[in-house]
Amino acid sequence: MAAITKKETRLKLQFVANPDHSIHAGLVAVEAMARRFDLWHKLRQLACLDPRTDKKRGYGPEVIVGQLIYALCSVGGGLSDSEALNDDPLARERFGVAKFADPTQVGQWLREQSEESVAALRQLLHQFVVWVWQQAQPQRLLHAGLREVFFDDTQLEVSGKPLEGAAINYNGDRALSWQTLWVGPLRCDSHVGRPKDVSD
C-alpha cells in the first residue's frame, strides 16, 4: 500500500468576530419540524385556543404557542424569557413576526384557556407523538430495541399566594404534582394536580 499523506486544499478558513450571531440558531430546526407537521395551521384551526373577540387584533394562538415553544427550546423557563426572543432579529424573522408578545399578553392568553382548549392541545400533542413515531427511524426512538414507556410524578414546590390544587406533599412541602407519561424520548401526556392524587 502506498503512503498516504495530507495534501494542501484550496479551502481557506478564517476566524473572525461576529457581533450578529444568534443564540437561537437551533430554532431553524424547530421551525422546520413544526412546518413539516403543519403545526401552525393546526393551531389556527383550533378555535377554542383563540379567546380574542376581534380576530383582526392581537396575537393568534399559533403565535403565542409558537413563542412559548421557541422560548422553551432556547432554555427559557418563564414568560419573560419568551419576550427575550424580541432581542434576536433571527428568531423574529424565522418565526415571521415583527414582534413577539410581551409577558402580560402571554399570561393573559394562558389565563383565558379553558378545559376544552387544554384538551385540544393535549390531543394535538398526541397527534404529534404519533407523527414522530411514523417519521423517525425506529432505532432512534427505541432503547435496546424496545419501546420504553415511563411514568413520572414530579413534585413542584410552590410558595407565595395559594395556588389551586397545591397541598402538603410527602416531604412536608406545599406542592403541585406534575405527572407525565413518556413514550421513548417523547412526553406524550401530562397532568398537574394535587400531590397523592393519581391522574387518569
Q: Dihedral through CA 131, CA 120, CA 176, CA 100, nearest 10?
A: 90
pTM of the model: 0.75
Tell me the three state secondary structure of residue 141.
Answer: coil
* Best CA proximity match to 59, nearest among 40, 32, 72: 40
Q: What is the H or E stretch that residue 132 is in?
A: helix 115-135
CA 62 to chain centre: 12
Q: Give the pLDDT score at 21.
A: 60
Spell out, as residue ranges, where the chain has pLDDT lower than 70.
4-6, 9, 11, 13, 18-25, 198-200
Whether residue 92 contacts residue 82, with contact meaning beta carbons closer than 8 Å, is answered with no
Helices (H) and strands (E) in the chain, counts: 7, 4
Q: From CA 64, how far away is CA 50, in angstroms rounded?
A: 10
Q: Any residues with CB less than 8 A from the CB of 112 and at least 6 apart, and which?
A: 51
Q: Give the pLDDT score at 20.
A: 63
Please state the domain extents for the chain.
27-119, 143-193
